């Protein structure tokens, strides 16, 4: 596996965002491609893949990418909205491509792109995209810092830059949720 110096990131992409300094890993070194066959137990009464099963596979593929990047156990901290663009049928293949878009301090944004594939015709359809936040933890569950991600291709640089915006939105949402909960619990208490 090749480890690149952080200074090799294209100028302008390395913002001061709480990311750790030092060596990093290219996106491709932790990329995961996972393929599942939709079996009867994965479907509803209409023979369509259950949304919950797909969410499980999304979570697993993303966890593998985060763990490969950080070389620590990683837990799911947040999952952004997931939309289901079209049904996936019994007997189709589900191809999940997961990669770490950006690492911050102890957390990482992982993007998962999901395709359905008809194995008889080879036809592929993009069915979902999801963003998940994973936190790297030690043996007692304490968050530990992760090394930076080094984007190389144009798409990787675009995802790296956009991940910062999404993180800001998530953290604002988390603050707002905490504020509402503390108001509700103080009213009840
Ligand atoms: C995720 C967890 C380790 C965070 O621990 P914590 O004590 O809240 O730690 P912090 O507040 O310091 O957050 C650690 C990192 O997580 C990020 N984070 C935590 N909650 C987040 C959220 N809802 N959205 C985005 N990022 C989040 C923080 O921004 C921080 O990232 P950074 O270090 O890169 O800046 C802890 O909440 C936990 O163990 N949760 C349960 C995880 C789990 O069981 N997941 C399975 C799903 S059921």
| Entry pTM | 0.89
3-state DSSP call for residue 40?
Answer: helix
Q: Ligand 1 centroid to 135 CA: how many Å?
A: 6
**Does residue 76 have its Cβ closer than 6 Å to ligand 1?**
yes
Whether the Cβ atoms of residue 60 and residue 184 lie closer than 8 Å to each other = no
Residue 118 to residue 95: CA distance in whole angstroms? 11
- 119: domain CATH number? 3.10.129.10
Alpha helices in 19-153 (DSSP H): 51-70
Whether residue 38 lies inside any domain: the answer is yes
Please choose, from the candidates 61, 63, 42, 54, the residue with its C-alpha nearest in 3D space to the C-alpha of residue 127: 54
pLDDT tens sequence across 81-114: 898 999 999 999 999 999 999 999 999 999 999 9
3-state DSSP call for residue 72?
Answer: coil
Whether residue 97 lies inside any domain: the answer is yes
Q: Ligand 1 centroid to 40 CA: how many Å?
A: 35
pLDDT tens sequence across 121-154: 999 999 999 999 999 999 999 999 999 999 999 9
**Does residue 134 have its Cβ closer than 6 Å to ligand 1?**
no
Whether residue 5 lies inside any domain: the answer is no
């Amino acid at each position: 596996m090749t480890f690149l110096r952080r200074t090799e990131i294209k100028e302008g992409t390395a913002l001061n965002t709480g990311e750790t300094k030092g060596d990093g890993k290219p996106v491709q070194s932790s990329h995961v491609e996972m393929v599942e066959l939709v079996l009867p137990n994965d479907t509803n009464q209409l023979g369509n893949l259950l949304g919950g099963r797909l969410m499980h596979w999304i979570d697993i593929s993303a966890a593998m990418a985060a763990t490969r990047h950080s070389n620590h156990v990683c837990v799911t901290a947040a999952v952004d909205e997931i939309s289901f663009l079209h049904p996936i049928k019994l007997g189709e293949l589900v191809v999940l491509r997961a990669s770490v878009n950006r690492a911050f301090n102890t957390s990482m944004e992982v993007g998962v792109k999901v395709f359905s594939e008809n194995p008889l015709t080879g036809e592929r359809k993009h069915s979902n995209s999801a963003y998940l936040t994973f936190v790297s933890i030690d043996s007692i569950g304490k968050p530990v810092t992760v090394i930076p991600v080094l984007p190389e291709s144009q798409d990787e640089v675009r995802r790296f830059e956009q991940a910062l915006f999404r993180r800001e939105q998530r953290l604002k949402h988390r603050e707002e949720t905490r504020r509402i909960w503390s108001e509700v619990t103080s009213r009840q208490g």
